[in-house]
Chains A and B, each alone.
Chain A
Amino acid sequence: MVRHGDHADRPAWRVTSGEPAPDAVERLLRVLPDWFGIESSVLEYVAAARTRPAYLAWPGDRQAARPSGVLLACRHFPASAELNLMAVDPACHRCGAGRALVAALEADLIADGVEFLQVKTQGPARPDAGYEKTRQFYSALGFQPLEEIHGLWPGIPCLITIKSLRTGRRR
């Protein structure tokens, strides 16, 4: 277990990783219809979650039966990885669960020599209050917009954001 500095007044998140968690992925996507409202995409995420190790965020101050957040990632090349999916129960938004999940992933990637982490999300060309919050979240964690592309997702602009794990560490 790695401790990153607990604070008595700010209960920590417990992050587990290394095992697939398709059930948690599906449950959390279903409670976020404003972000994950396309059924075919939900099913694709769940299918990917059956073989991909998941990061799960659990409230650290009590015994929880189910995780509050999940993250999936993959490594494209030795020096680059992608955060493919993150979903946090809306009841736990702005409580640090997403930040804890990304911190755990980054620690693992850095340990294996990964230099760049990318996230693709809906771009600002199609205004959406939910995804504006998403972009603000990743920006606060040090991700920079790289390019907005069209055609990858039908009818939805894709913003590619990237973070250097060597120099871009802002927490």
Chain B
Amino acid sequence: MILPQAAEATLIPWPRAAKAMLRAQERVISRT
């Protein structure tokens, strides 16, 4: 069942990636 609120929510063009995911980054993470 698709509730009206849910159907409406799917129409909102939320970005598919978080801003931080789109920024070129490099980091070092320990193997703990």
Contact = CB atoms under 8 A, between A and B. Distances in A.
Interface of A: 1-7, 10-19, 52-53, 60, 73-78, 81, 95-96, 99-100, 103-105, 107-109, 111-112, 114, 171
Interface residues of B, number: 20
Given A13-B31, A74-B16, A1 B26 contact: yes
A57 to B, nearest CB: 9
Given A18-B23, A53-B22, A6 B17 contact: no
Given A18-B21, A18-B24, 14 more contacts: A5-B30, A10-B30, A12-B28, A13-B28, A15-B28, A17-B21, A52-B17, A53-B22, A73-B17, A75-B14, A76-B16, A81-B18, A104-B25, A112-B21
B3 interface: no
Contacts of B22: 18, 53
Nearest to B31: A96
Interface of A is mostly: mixed
Question: Which of A11, A14, A112 gathers most chain B CB within 10 Å?
Answer: A112
A119 to B, nearest CB: 16
